[in-house]
Amino acid sequence: MKSNILVVDDEPVARQSLTDILKLEGHNVSSAPNGQAAVEHVRTHPIDLMIVDLRMPGMDGLEVVQVVNQISPETEVILLTAFGSTETAIQALRLRIHDYLLKPASPVQVLASVKKGLARRSARSRVSVVMDTADVDETVEVFSLKDGTTVDLSRRQIKHKSKVEHLTPAEGRLLKILIENEGKVFSHRELVLLVQGYDTSQREAPEILRPLVSRLRHKLEQFPSLSERVVSVRGTGYLYEGNK
């Protein structure tokens, strides 16, 4: 089945060039000259992947992505920009962007990124189906520690006597991944992919993950027997230690 791709760029030559490259690969390709037109197109058409320029008059690329994430969260996004900076890249990745390419990106780079993005979209769709099926079973995943602390992963809830703490979906996913893989060291990059659903560089991953880990650690502070099990491995990532 052909994939539906939207190219968003205010420069006509760049827009046409990308459109032609992708059409030659057999994709269904549409284009938009600005952010507002892109948003309207996504509202009315199914889009598997969107390539959007960062710097555009009116709505810029990041603003477009914020809106598209709300109306079509399954759409993968590749951001193109001539103004590369780590800061912008991190901001973009926090918005669930699949990739970040500097202009002028070569056809080989663009096609490789598109291929990965579409593969990730397919993988996420399969995971969603599995999760939907699992929800029907209403499986309760509860872990208990020796001091009576319980972690209900399905409800994202931690209890100890009268203390109760609720986790956000992202915090819950992070803790679930660590607990269910006791003793396994996960790199920052692996955790960003598993928890947030997008890939990033090994250099940028710690910056993206740090705020989430900080919020989780803050909530775990009132449950010492649990918090001491979530261990930071210097320069690498995190693990959940058992038998403490």
- Classify residue 154 by its DSSP letter: T
Q: Is the pLDDT assigned to residue 81 strictly greater than 90?
A: no
Q: Is the pLDDT assigned to residue 126 strictly greater than 60?
A: no
Residue 244, pLDDT score: 52
Judge if 156 and 110 occupy the same domain.
no
Alpha-carbon distance of 112 to 204, in angstroms, equals 21
Judge if 120 and 150 occupy the same domain.
no
Judge if 161 and 179 occupy the same domain.
yes
Q: Pick the range with the lowest mean pLDDT from 23-32, 171-180, 213-222.
A: 171-180
| 26: alpha, beta or left? (left if phi > 0; alpha if psi -120 to 50) | left
Residue 101, pLDDT score: 82
Q: Among residues of the chain, what percentage have pLDDT more than 70?
A: 84
Both structure tokens of 48:
């598997």
For tokens 């009576």, the residue is: 148
End-to-end Cα spacing for the chain = 51
CATH number of the structural domain spanning residue 99: 3.40.50.2300
Judge if 178 and 214 occupy the same domain.
yes
- The residue out of 99, 131, 163 marking a domain boundary is 131
Judge if 124 and 152 occupy the same domain.
no
Domain hosting 62: range is 4-131
Judge if 12 and 126 occupy the same domain.
yes
Judge if 225 and 148 occupy the same domain.
yes
Q: What is the pTM of this model?
A: 0.54
Number of domains in the chain: 2
Average pLDDT over residues 107-129: 77
Q: Is the pLDDT assigned to residue 194 strictly greater than 60?
A: yes
- The residue out of 113, 131, 149 marking a domain boundary is 131
Residue 96, pLDDT score: 65
Residue 137, pLDDT score: 43
Judge if 11 and 123 occupy the same domain.
yes
Q: Is the pLDDT assigned to residue 139 strictly greater than 60?
A: no
Judge if 124 and 78 occupy the same domain.
yes
Judge if 77 and 153 occupy the same domain.
no
Average pLDDT over residues 99-104: 80
CATH number of the structural domain spanning residue 168: 1.10.10.10
Provide the mean pLDDT of the chain: 84
Judge if 76 and 159 occupy the same domain.
no
Question: In sequence order, what are the beta bridge partners of 206?
Answer: none
Residue 85, pLDDT score: 56
- The residue out of 112, 131, 150 marking a domain boundary is 131
Q: Is the pLDDT assigned to residue 180 strictly greater than 60?
A: yes
Question: In sequence order, what are the beta bridge partners of 47?
Answer: none
Judge if 101 and 214 occupy the same domain.
no
CB 197 within 8 A of CB 208: no
Residue 71, pLDDT score: 87
